[in-house]
Structure 1
Amino acid sequence: MSGGEDAEAHRIACRLDVLLEERGITLTELSARVGVSVVNLSVLKNDRARAIRFSTLTAICEALDCQPGDVLTLAP
């Protein structure tokens, strides 16, 4: 499977941008809170991530006071 096909093989969407806006938090601030680089969070936020560690998802949820389903959704 090529990279293009792999990117289209899932419908998981990240709502990190919405959550950050709702909470008035920047990506840089979230990065400092969760210990993940701004670059890696940006990849996640822009739906370019191929995977996410449970520890990262847990840290994001704790920092934003949300559930995993608030961060990741299944697009139609």
Structure 2
Amino acid sequence: MSKAIKINLDMVMLQRKMSLTELSERVGITMANLSTLKTGKAKAIRFSTLLALCEALDCKPGDLIQLEED
């Protein structure tokens, strides 16, 4: 059984009705980097980035990150 980390950024953004452009402006992260996170192609995320996303989206890290088991 393998495990994987899933980023739920797209779901949280949809719930908050926030666009990628707006989130990029609020957090100070390029749209390209946010897109990489959103599509699950990122290999890592800095805690400072995670904190900034949580503050901008008014959520907790567990809302953005999920452990999946295959």
Same fold by TM-score greater than 0.5: yes
Q: What is the DSSP-based 3-state SS (H/G/I as helix, E as strand, rest coil) of the residue aligned with 2:6?
A: strand
**What is the identity percentage for the equivalent residue pairs of Structure 1 and Structure 2?**
53
1:21-71 CA-partner distances (Å, limit 9, x unpaired): 001100110000000000000000100000001000000000001000100
TM (norm. structure 2) is 0.92
The answer for the alignment partner of 2:20 in structure 1 is 27
Q: Which amino acid aligns with 2:61?
A: P
Q: What is the DSSP-based 3-state SS (H/G/I as helix, E as strand, rest coil) of the residue aligned with 1:50?
A: coil
| Corresponding residue to 2:33 among 11, 25, 40 | 40
Runs (4 or more) in structure 1 with deviation over 6 Å come to none
Q: What is the DSSP-based 3-state SS (H/G/I as helix, E as strand, rest coil) of the residue aligned with 1:75?
A: strand
Structure 1 unmatched ranges of 5 or more: 1-8
Alpha-carbon shift at residue 75 of structure 1 (Å): 1.2
TM (norm. structure 1) is 0.85
Structure 2 unmatched ranges of 5 or more: none
Alpha-carbon shift at residue 10 of structure 1 (Å): 5.3
